[in-house]
Structure 1
Amino acid sequence: MKYLKDEDFIKKFGQKLKQVRESKGLSQEQLSLLTEVSQSQIARTELGQVNTSISHVSIYAKYLKVDAMNLFDFSDLVK
């Protein structure tokens, strides 16, 4: 089975995570403390450098107080 990696989708997810985090007034460090995900992992996710896990998506949504599906709505991202 071939490993598939959608670079554009991963970058958009990172942009959306950053947008939502900032709209909630949280720094990467604060989100890291809440979620117990390392700040460097959050930074790499926001930069679109890593293909984050579904478990991380769930925990981000929980502590950002948004529906997980909101993190996949890229319609309001600046191109």
Structure 2
Amino acid sequence: MKYLKDEEFIKKFGRKLKQVREDRGLSQEQFSLLTEVSQSQIARTELGQVNTSISHVSIYAKFLKVDPRDLFDF
């Protein structure tokens, strides 16, 4: 089976994550401390460089106090 990667979708998700994080007044460093996800991983996700896991999406939504679906509203 061929690995499929929708790079545009991944970039849109990253931009949305960054927007919501910034709307909450959180720096990447603060968000990293809250979520226990490395700051470099958050940065790469926001830049659309990594295809983040569904577990990370759940963690991000929890600490941003949004429904996970909201992170896909782009």
TM bin (shorter chain): over 0.9
Which residue of the partner structure matches residue 56 of structure 2?
56
Which residue of the partner structure matches residue 36 of structure 1?
36
CA distance in 2, matches of 1:33, 1:73: 25
Q: Of Structure 1 and Structure 2, which has the larger fraction of its residues in helix?
A: 2
Q: Deviations over 1:10-38 (max 9, x none)?
A: 00000000000000000000010000000
Unaligned runs of 5+ in 2: none
- Of all paired residues, the percent bearing the same amino acid is 88
Which residue of the partner structure matches residue 23 of structure 1?
23
What is the CA RMSD across the aligned residues, in angstroms?
0.2
CA distance in 2, matches of 1:4, 1:27: 31
Unaligned runs of 5+ in 1: 75-79
The alignment's TM-score, normalised by the length of structure 1, stands at 0.93
- Tell me which amino acid in the other structure corresponds to 2:35: T
Question: Secondary structure of the residue that 2:37 maps to in structure 1?
Answer: coil
Structure 1 runs (4+) deviating above 6 angstroms are none
CA distance in 1, matches of 2:55, 2:30: 19
CA distance in 2, matches of 1:31, 1:3: 30
Counterparts of 1:64-79 in structure 2, within 5 Å, are 64-74=64-74
User: Would you say how many aligned residue pairs link Structure 1 and Structure 2?
Assistant: 74
- Tell me which amino acid in the other structure corresponds to 2:29: E
The alignment's TM-score, normalised by the length of structure 2, stands at 0.99
